[in-house]
Amino acid sequence: MSGNVLKLGIPKGSLQDATAALFEKAGWKIKFSSRSYYPTIDDDEIECLLIRAQEIARYVADGVLDAGLTGKDWVQENRVEVEEIADLVYSKTSDRPVRWVIAVPNDSPINNVKDLQGKRIATEAVNMTIDYLKQHGVTASVEFSWGATEVKPPKLADAIVEITETGSSLRANNLRIIDTIMESNTKFIMNKDSFKDEWKRTKVERIVLMLKGAMAANRKVGIMMNVPRKSMEAVMKILPPNTKPTISSLTDDAWADLMVILEEKLVREIVPDLKKAGAEDIVEFPLNKIIH
């Protein structure tokens, strides 16, 4: 028999507010209290726990949590088995996955993974680094770094394995990347037993459906315009292929109302052309969610 509460791990720290904002767009309000690690959520079927992304995979694998949001990197670093339900992309700006890279000082003689033999590597991701070196048949001293890893070479380490998005912090510390160990992004993961529980799996699927709806709306907008019936074909050609606009009849038969969902970025490209093709009163409006 199945329980009726889903224990969900929310990542504490840099992703915390973005996670709450995404859930709010999806329809759930998570509230943090400064002293508690049990955020409240307005759904009696969910129980949240706020913990570091580094630890969520471990607790989901153990079954202490049914599900959680964490990076693919920390799943691997913890060397655990979980169900990966969905990829989540949080913000409009950073849709690139982050990368864990090996970096060395610009003037280091180290140029590839083989050159790391016998060297000293500082990293927050010790297991991931050891596994990677083993695959390449390299033995090195891998030391756990409590922070500020990028300032350690060359005095405190020969190389580092560090997370980076744009590489700018590495460059600022005069480091160059010699290899990428893995690309990572946020995952919605489940415990393998919880995944077999129908109630829990269905609950997670509904949450994920809404989260995806909210993410889809992040970069899209609605466009409404009045189009003369005779210009409809010309207007349709300007819209991207595969777009399915909603065309409503108006009382004035010579005109129709066209409503369509578009990538926000596309709007600035096609609006001048739509206008030229005869569309009038073009209005853009914001969306909360899109479920295709």
Closest to 225 measured CA to CA, from 290, 289, 287, 274? 274
- C-alpha 39/C-alpha 60 separation (Å) is 18
Kindly state whether residue 246 participates in binding its own copies, applying the rule CB under 8 A: yes
Kindly state whether residue 250 participates in binding its own copies, applying the rule CB under 8 A: yes
Q: With CB under 8 A, what is the number of residues at the site for its own copies?
A: 71
Give me the least distance between CB of 203 and its own copies, in Å please: 11
Give me the least distance between CB of 110 and its own copies, in Å please: 18
Site for its own copies in 256-285 (CB under 8 A): 256-257, 259, 261, 264-265, 267-268, 271-272, 275, 280-285
3-state DSSP assignment of residue 241: coil
CB atoms inside a 10 Å sphere around CB 292: 7
Strands 83-88 and 186-190: antiparallel
Site for its own copies in 169-198 (CB under 8 A): 172
Give me the least distance between CB of 206 and its own copies, in Å please: 5
Give me the least distance between CB of 259 and its own copies, in Å please: 8
Site for its own copies in 54-73 (CB under 8 A): 54-55, 58-59, 64
The residue within the footprint of its own copies, chosen from 134, 206, 230, 237 (CB under 8 A), is 206
- C-alpha 219/C-alpha 158 separation (Å) is 42
Site for its own copies in 37-56 (CB under 8 A): 37, 42, 49, 51-52, 54-55
DSSP string, 86-116: EEE---SS--SPEEEEEEEETT-S--SGGGG
- C-alpha 258/C-alpha 242 separation (Å) is 15
Kindly state whether residue 93 participates in binding its own copies, applying the rule CB under 8 A: yes
Q: Which is nearer to its own copies, 140 or 179 (CB)?
A: 140
Strand spans (E) along 95-149: 98-105, 120-123, 141-144
CB atoms inside a 10 Å sphere around CB 86: 18
The residue within the footprint of its own copies, chosen from 80, 224, 234, 238 (CB under 8 A), is 224
Q: Which is nearer to its own copies, 137 or 268 (CB)?
A: 268
The residue within the footprint of its own copies, chosen from 3, 87, 148, 237 (CB under 8 A), is 148
- C-alpha 95/C-alpha 89 separation (Å) is 6
